[in-house]
Structure 1
Amino acid sequence: MSTPLLFRSMVFRSTTDADLDRVTAVTVDEPVGWIAADRYLDELKEGMYRPEWTWIAEDGDRVVARALWWGQATAEHPVALDCLYVDPSVDDRAAVGADLITAGLRAFAEQGALKPPLYNLTLPTGWRQDPAAVAALAWRHEAARAAGLTDEVERLRLEWTPDAGLPVAGGRLTFTEGSDEEFLDVFRRIAVGSLDGETRRNLDAMGAEATAREEVDFYLGCPGERSWWRLARTPDGRVAGLALPSATPYNRNVGYLGVVPELRGQGYVDDVLAEITRIQVEAGAELITATTDTDNAPMAAAFARAGYRVTQTRMIYSVPEASRTASVPAS
């Protein structure tokens, strides 16, 4: 267990097995995504939640705040903060939330994590019209930014189910397997001019080569099979883009798709998305998930044409790429 951190009269620390009942007793009644006890316990057994990745703030004998970080079962470090809760009785929920996030991030860095986990906050669609959702986001937004997670992206979560029907491919592209180096080259090319917020930030901070390498390494580490990956080619054999069907521990997903800059604007994205959907369906998928930035209107429109519907909005907070080697701010 990490050394407890003191702030005001509170103690911020990671948990032990002895804290399990107190951790699972926390409930969230705000309209944001949160982790209920049954899911926490199930994924605790699988190693996707862990006592050392679960942090609490105590005021005397009361648990007044809880942060649940998640990672893949085989991971050494967590990749995302899934749930942040501060009791409504706390005077400054944002300040306590910021200190709890900061304590966790500092501990993970001390344990060798090279990349600070992001904060993934799920909201209902149309959340801006719900005052309760706006209020639930407000203090969490302030807490995340005060803890150094100042890069902010709003993303749509989408789903395809069989009732939508298979999207119709245009028949203009063929899809072939390829080597890691071929995929790396296409990742490098499609990063240029991308409307994806994270890709743009990584490109500015690291350049095309490192951005492409990070993408390839990420998808190689996902639960999806490498054999699913396809290069998209025009009839004359030119590479038009790539299709990476993938998976999470929960669902099959779209993974990654892109079209090279010189062929954008010709509708090829529809063919690539149709191919990913076809591969997943032929493998037996009854649900395919996807995400895209709200700013990426062309991609959102392509998903809509393919029968994917928006089910959630996510606010993603992360440490800016250029600041990831810097120390976590002190409380």
Structure 2
Amino acid sequence: MYTVRRVAMHELSDFVAVLTLPERHASILAYVEHMFSQGAMRPEWCFLVEKEGEALGRAAFWTLPGKDVPSDIVLLDPPWEDDACGDQLWQDLLLMCKQLGAEQLGYVLDTPAMAPQWQESGPTRQTFLKKKGFHLQRETSRFEWKSDEPRSQEANGGILFRSLSEVGEASFIDAIMRGSASTLDRQIAQERADLGPYLQAKEIFHDLQSMSYEAHWWELAYTPENELIGFVMPTKSPTFATIGYIGVLPEFRGRGYVDVLLNRGVISLVQSGERYIRADTDLHNEPMANSFLRAGFHRFAQRSEYRVRF
């Protein structure tokens, strides 16, 4: 008989060791402890599945800092060869998640496997997720930028920038709403269709507000004639600095404005002390991918984003 139970703080070493090579323990433990400090994970959200006292698998819940309801599942590692054990782990996790008030859960799968989750057995994980009702929502290319060199402003052709402090929340939500029109990002397009342009833009804005940022980092770009061009909203997630959201209005696309906005976002993060930035873009959004490459980012992984609603 399998038992799923919460992990006590003194058992974290046992938790990170389950189904994991010894040389990877330190990276997973550092990740878990950092997530605790950021408020994205909690000790009571970490679980072991056992049989007769032997730990066979593990999983944990994750959410944006400051929120009390899990939004995702991480460190999902049941014994893949034991379907019954995996089923028991999922059933108990689902029950606990519902008790915490969640109505859905996400899961992201990165290829190739890397720290801190080390998601080996990608095809097996995909099969497990599909059997549990998860649906593939989005596939992205992942990019990262690393440098110890200062980043300089480039000529911007007379573009005017105004920060969140200057224009206010309503102007940013309006910019997001307009910039998300005819997007190449499939998930954003679907959410826009489901929620409506305004509610979706408002949700994006407030989700990004739950991360760490400074108001002067978030900027709207205008022509000298005061026409809105686009926006950039860099943030710091619980694990890395990122270009939280960036967009150019449809009527201004194809003119190189995205490169100017991306450079502004990178400079804001670099000036705050960041030397390592990550960002994702939909596999079909080649214009954005090319902008990252021009800005000195390199593609390091592919991510599949899954979600189940219950």
* TM band (smaller chain): 0.7 to 0.9
Which residue matches 2:269? 280
The 1:226–1:67 alpha-carbon spacing in structure 2 relative to 1, beyond 3 Å, is same
Which residue matches 2:134? 149
The 1:55–1:28 alpha-carbon spacing in structure 2 relative to 1, beyond 3 Å, is same
Equivalent residue letter for 1:152? Q
Equivalences for residues 42-57 of structure 1 within 5 A: 42-44=34-36, 47-57=39-49
The 1:19–1:195 alpha-carbon spacing in structure 2 relative to 1, beyond 3 Å, is same
Q: Distance in 2 between matches of 1:238 and 1:263?
A: 10
Which residue matches 2:32? 40
Q: Does 1:124 align with 2:125?
A: no
Q: Is the 8 A contact 1:98 1:143 kept in 2?
A: no
Q: Is the 8 A contact 1:157 1:314 kept in 2?
A: yes
Give 1:136 deviation, angstroms: 0.7
Give 1:252 deviation, angstroms: 2.2
**Percent identity over paired residues:** 28
Give the alignment's TM-score, normalised by structure 2. 0.85
Q: How large is the RMSD of aligned CA atoms in angstroms?
A: 3.0
Gaps of 5+ in 2: none
Q: Is the 8 A contact 1:28 1:34 kept in 2?
A: no
The 1:141–1:97 alpha-carbon spacing in structure 2 relative to 1, beyond 3 Å, is farther
Equivalences for residues 280-299 of structure 1 within 5 A: 280-299=269-288
**1:173 paired residue among 135, 142, 159:** 159
Which residue matches 1:10? 2
**1:303 paired residue among 256, 271, 292:** 292
Q: Is the 8 A contact 1:83 1:121 kept in 2?
A: no
Q: Does 1:75 align with 2:75?
A: no
Which residue matches 1:140? 125
The 1:57–1:34 alpha-carbon spacing in structure 2 relative to 1, beyond 3 Å, is farther
Give 1:259 deviation, angstroms: 0.7
User: Aligned pairs, how many?
Assistant: 302
Q: Distance in 2 between matches of 1:73 and 1:157?
A: 22
Give 1:119 deviation, angstroms: 0.8
Gaps of 5+ in 1: 1-8, 126-132
Q: Does 1:270 align with 2:259?
A: yes
Equivalences for residues 100-111 of structure 1 within 5 A: 100-111=89-100
Q: Is the 8 A contact 2:229 2:252 kept in 1?
A: yes
The 1:226–1:163 alpha-carbon spacing in structure 2 relative to 1, beyond 3 Å, is closer
Give the alignment's TM-score, normalised by structure 1. 0.80
Q: Does 1:22 align with 2:14?
A: yes
Give 1:233 deviation, angstroms: 0.6
CA deviation string 1:256-312 (max 9, x = no partner): 110111212222111111111122222232122211122211110110011111223
The 1:102–1:237 alpha-carbon spacing in structure 2 relative to 1, beyond 3 Å, is farther
Q: Distance in 2 between matches of 1:18 and 1:294?
A: 42
Which residue matches 1:232? 221
CA deviation string 1:56-101 (max 9, x = no partner): 222222222211222345331233222111235x333xx6445534
